[in-house]
Structure 1
Amino acid sequence: MVTSRDVAHAAHVSQATVSRVLNGNTRVAPEARERVLRALDELGYVPNASAKAMRTARAGAVGIVASEMLNPYFPRLLDALTREARERDLTVLLWNDDDPAAPMAQAGVKSGAVDAVIFAAAKQETTGVDQLASRGVPVMLVNRADPGNPVDQVTSDHEGSGYAAAAYFLDRGRDDLATVFGPRDTFASPARERGFRRCLAERGVEVATRRWFVGTTSYEHGWASATALLESGTLPSAVFCSADLIAFGVISALRRGGVRVPEDVWVMGNDGLPMSEWDPFDLTTHRQPIEEIAKQGMDRLVARMAGEHGEPRRIMIPTELIVRGSTAHA
C-alpha cells in the first residue's frame, strides 16, 4: 500500500505538505503542490480509511493508555503503534496510567485533544474502556483479549503460548517443572498460566504449589523465585517464565548459585525481547507479533474513526516459539 510517506519521499517534501495537498489546503507553494500531485499520480496513491478519518475527526490524534513502562515489552509495542499512527498522518498522545478509570484519557477526549483511544495498559480492570465506548468514542484494546468488552481487540495468543510452552517441555521428557508467572490482575500472564495449566491437566502432570510462583513482571521476581528453588535443595528440570524479563532474573540467580543453564535446568521465557538473543541469556522464548498487532490495531481504529459501524472484531495472532540455548538441543 502506498502511504503519504512514500509520496513525500518521491516529491521531496514533508508529510505535512502532502497532507495539506490532500486536504485542499491552499497554503502550499505551487511548485511543491505540483510535485506532490505528480507523485500521487505516478505512485497510484489511493486515500484509505485513515484519510477519511482525518477529514472527519476533530483533532486528527489518538491517545494511548499504557502502564508497566519498565517492562521492555511495552516501549517496543508503543514504538510500533506510534510508527503506524505516523504512517496514517495521525498524531499520538501517550498516558502512562494504570488507574482503572483512565482519567487522563477521559480528559483528553473531553477536551477534544484526541478522537480515539488505544488501551495498551497491562491491567485487567479498566472501567474507562466501558465509559468511553458507551459515549461512542472509538476504542481499541491492543494485546488484550476481553470477551466482555464490546470494542475492537487485537492480541497475540497468550494462552496458546502457555500451552505450547508446557507441551515443549513434556514432549522432551521435562516433567519436573517450576513456573514463574507475573501478576494475576493483568491480561497476558493469567492467560499464559491458563494455557500452561490446561496442557498439564491433559497430560496428567502436576506442579507442586511451592514451585508455582506468582509476582511482578520483573527481573527481581525471577531472581527471588530462582533463589527460593535453590534454597529448597531440589531443583526442577525446567522453568517456564511468563515473561522474558522474569526469565533473565531466573537464569542469573541459577548461575550465581552454581547451576548450569541448560545442562542442569532448562529455562524458557515469553515475549521475544531483543535481549533474549544476547549471549548471557540465549533464551528460548515465544516471540509476540508486535508489528502485526500494531498494524491491525491501527487499521481497525482508523476505520472506526472514519465512521465504520458493525460488530466489534476480536483478532488473535499466534506467537512464534524461538528455540535457543537455554533449553538445549536447539
Structure 2
Amino acid sequence: MNTYPKKLNSTDIARLAGVSQATVSRVLSGRDKVKEATRLRVLKVINESGYSPNPFAQAMRTSQSRTVGVAVSRITNPIVPEILEALAQNFTAFKRRLLVWNTDSEGEDGLIQAIRSGTIDGVIFTAASHQTKAIKVALEAQKPVVSFNRYLEGAACDQIVSSNFDGAAQIARYLVAQGRQRIGFINGPLDRTTLADREAGFRHALAVSGRDIPPQLYAQSDFEPEAFRQAAIDMMASDTPPDAIACGNDLIAIGTLNGLRSIGAKVPEDVWVTGFDGIEMTGWDVIDLTTMRQPIDVMAADAARALIDRIEGRYIQPKVVEYPTEFIVRGSTTHAAQ
C-alpha cells in the first residue's frame, strides 16, 4: 500500500532511502554496480511509493530515452505480431520500452521525427525496403539500427535474417523428389528481399533439377485480400493445372488454400501446397500447412541484443547473421521430408 502523501521524485527517493540521487539513478539504470543492501533499500522505497521515473528527464541525464523503435509493414500478416511479441519480451528483459510504427498506414514521418528528436535510442526495421527514408535518416544520425528479416545490400547496420534462398531451394528439391510434375509458384511483391530471395532459391533448385516454373503456373501480386485466392483458382483452370503450388510465405499459402477450397480442389489429393515462415496458425488442423519455419524467437533475441550492444557502444563492426530454417511437413503435402 502506498502511504506516501504525494508523488515523489528521485530526490525524494534518495532522501527516504538515505542515499544520494546519483545512487538512485544507478539503481534505476541497472548498469552500474551498487551494493546489494543499498540497491534493495532503494527498490523498497520505490516499490512502496509507486515511483515511476520521468522518461524525458532520464533521457536528458543519460542521453538515452530507454525506448527503442520498431518499424513494421503489413501488420495484418500474422508473422508481424509474432515478431513484435518476441521483440517485446527481449526488450522488456533489457528494461527498454517499445514504440511501434506501422509505416504502411502511418508513413515514415513520425518515425523520422522520433529518430531526430532522440525519443528513441535505436530502431529495428522489419520491412526495410518500405522504410528506406527512415533508415537513411537513422544511419546519418548515427542512430543504432538493426534490419530484421530483411537483407540490405551494403547497409552499415546489423542484419538478422534467415536462410530464405536455401530454405526455398529445399522446398523445391522436396517437391521434385516426391514426384510433383507441374509445380506452380505464387509470390508477393518482389521488393521484399525475403520474397525475392525465396523465389530465386526456388527457381535455382528447379533449374538444377532440369525443371522450371511454367508461365501459366506463376503468379505475383501485391498483398490484396483476393489476389492469392484468385491466383490459385486461375492456375487450376489452366490446361495444365499444377499438382503442387509453392508460396512465397504462409499468408500467401493460406490465400491459396482458400482459393482451392472454393472450387472444390482437394489438398493434398489434387494439389500440394507449401508456405514459408512457420507462423503459429499453419499448425492448426484446419490449415495443416507444410512450411519452412523461421526461428523467430532466436532471431528476435539476437536482434534485441545487437541493438542494445550498439546503444551501449559495445561494438562497432556491423554484422550479418543468417539463421537456418526448419522444414515442417504437414497434411498439405502428406509425404515425408527429403
TM value normalised by structure 1: 0.82
- Name which one, 1 or 2, has greater alpha-carbon Rg: 2
Q: Deviations over 1:221-250 (max 9, x none)?
A: 221111101322432111001111111121
3-state secondary structure, aligned to 2:322: strand
Counterpart selection for 1:103 from 97, 100, 109: 109
3-state secondary structure, aligned to 1:272: coil
Query: 1: CA distance between counterparts of 2:77 and 2:273?
Result: 19
Counterpart selection for 2:28 from 16, 20, 39: 20
Q: Does structure 2 conserve the Cα–Cα contact (< 8 Å) formed by 1:62 and 1:117?
A: yes
**Is structure 2 residue 128 aligned with structure 1 residue 129?**
no
RMSD after superposition: 2.9
Counterpart selection for 1:264 from 267, 270, 276: 270
By how many angstroms is 1:220 displaced? 2.5
By how many angstroms is 1:135 displaced? 2.0
Query: 2: CA distance between counterparts of 1:19 and 1:241?
Result: 50
Query: 2: CA distance between counterparts of 1:17 and 1:311?
Result: 30
By how many angstroms is 1:103 displaced? 2.5
Query: 2: CA distance between counterparts of 1:264 and 1:102?
Result: 45
Q: Percent identity?
A: 34
By how many angstroms is 1:254 displaced? 1.5
Question: What residue is the counterpart of 1:229 in the other structure?
Answer: 235
Query: 2: CA distance between counterparts of 1:219 and 1:246?
Result: 10
**Is structure 2 residue 287 aligned with structure 1 residue 290?**
no
3-state secondary structure, aligned to 1:155: strand
Greater relative CO, 1 or 2 (CA 8 Å, sep 6+): 1
Query: 2: CA distance between counterparts of 1:237 and 1:18?
Result: 63
By how many angstroms is 1:32 displaced? 4.5
Q: Deviations over 1:2-44 (max 9, x none)?
A: xxxxxxxxxxxxxx99952836899xx97953888xxxxxxxx
Q: Does structure 2 conserve the Cα–Cα contact (< 8 Å) formed by 1:218 and 1:245?
A: no
Query: 1: CA distance between counterparts of 2:166 and 2:224?
Result: 22
Q: Does structure 2 conserve the Cα–Cα contact (< 8 Å) formed by 1:140 and 1:152?
A: yes
Q: Does structure 1 conserve the Cα–Cα contact (< 8 Å) formed by 2:70 and 2:98?
A: yes
Query: 2: CA distance between counterparts of 1:24 and 1:313?
Result: 28
1:206 alignment partner AA: D
Q: Does structure 2 conserve the Cα–Cα contact (< 8 Å) formed by 1:100 and 1:128?
A: no
| Count, aligned residues | 296
For structure 1, list consecutive stretches of 5 or more residues without a partner in the other structure: 1-15, 37-52
By how many angstroms is 1:256 displaced? 2.5
2:41 alignment partner AA: R
Q: Does structure 1 conserve the Cα–Cα contact (< 8 Å) formed by 2:150 and 2:192?
A: no
For structure 2, list consecutive stretches of 5 or more residues without a partner in the other structure: 1-23, 45-58
Q: Does structure 2 conserve the Cα–Cα contact (< 8 Å) formed by 1:63 and 1:95?
A: yes
Distance 1:21 1:268, change over 3 A: closer
Q: Does structure 2 conserve the Cα–Cα contact (< 8 Å) formed by 1:217 and 1:243?
A: no
Question: What residue is the counterpart of 1:273 in the other structure?
Answer: 279
Report which stretch shifted further, 166-175 or 219-228: 219-228
TM value normalised by structure 2: 0.80
**Is structure 2 residue 119 aligned with structure 1 residue 113?**
yes
